[in-house]
Structures are given as structure tokens and as C-alpha cells.
């Protein structure tokens, strides 16, 4: 089973966009659009055009890979396998996409909270250091 968050892919994203903050913003935008991606896949499943289905699933797969959503990417890849478009398999995998999306969104949210706490602690430590240095210089 694939990890929820692919840390190597996230590290690549950070390198590509230039900062952890920009990468986190990208992933936050990705999580905001996940429901729409999945709805597009559901609509394309009902379409007689197999290319529409393929494009919708591949779009989610590529976006998930870029955002470091490892399990979402893997589930989307299963939807592209031959025979995955039969009703029972496709509906089960779309349901799995929904679950994967919820878990990824929660994991991303937890990482954002953790980063915010780390930033606050670092800022607090800098202030304490600055106050300590001023007191040392004054005495």
C-alpha cells in the first residue's frame, strides 16, 4: 500500500517551486480541488467517450503525483488499468479515491498545523534570544 504522503515527491515539489511555504500552498490548493476532480471522474464514467474518462483520471493522477498524494496517485493508476471501467470496479475505486482524498486532506492539514506550531516556537525562541542578548549587553 502506498503512503498517504509521498515525502520524496513533496521534496521535489519544494525544490521545483523554491520554498516549503509555496509547496504547501500548492498542496492546499490541490486538496481544495480534490472533490471537483473526483466529481469529474464520476461524470466521465457515465460518458460514452472513453477519452473523457482517461483524461479525467490521468489529470487527477498527475496532480496527485505532483502534490505528493501517493495513495491517491496509486488508486487513480488502478482506474487506468484495462477492465477498471466496468461498473463494479470503477465505483469501488471511485469510493476508494474519496477515502484517500479525505485521509490525504487530514494528513496535509495536520502537517500544516505542525509547521505553524514549529514556526511559532522558532519565532518565540528568536524573541527570547533577542531579549537575552539585550539584557546581557545592557549589564
For the chain, what are the domain ranges? 7-105
Q: How many whole angstroms separate alpha carbon 78 and alpha carbon 60?
A: 12
pLDDT in tens, 12-44: 999 999 998 899 999 999 999 999 999 999 999
Residues 47-84 have pLDDT tens digits of 888 899 999 999 999 999 999 999 999 999 999 998 88
Query: Exposed (0-12), middle (13-18) or buried (19+): which is 98, by Cβ within 10 Å?
Result: middle
pTM of this structure? 0.81
93 with 84: CB under 8 angstroms?
yes
Amino acid at each position: 500500500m502506498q503512503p498517504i504522503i509521498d515525502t520524496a515527491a513533496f521534496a521535489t515539489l519544494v525544490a521545483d517551486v523554491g520554498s516549503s511555504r509555496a509547496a504547501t500552498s500548492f498542496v492546499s490548493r490541490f486538496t481544495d480541488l480534490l472533490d471537483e476532480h473526483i466529481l469529474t471522474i464520476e461524470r466521465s464514467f457515465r460518458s460514452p467517450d472513453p477519452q473523457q474518462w482517461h483524461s479525467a483520471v490521468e489529470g487527477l493522477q498527475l496532480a496527485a503525483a505532483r502534490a505528493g498524494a501517493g495513495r491517491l496517485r496509486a488508486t487513480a493508476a488502478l482506474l487506468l488499468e484495462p477492465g477498471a471501467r466496468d461498473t463494479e470496479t470503477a465505483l469501488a475505486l471511485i469510493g476508494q479515491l474519496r477515502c484517500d482524498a479525505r485521509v490525504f486532506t487530514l494528513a496535509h492539514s495536520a502537517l500544516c498545523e505542525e509547521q505553524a506550531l514549529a514556526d511559532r516556537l522558532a519565532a518565540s525562541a528568536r524573541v527570547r534570544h533577542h531579549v537575552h542578548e539585550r539584557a546581557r549587553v545592557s549589564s
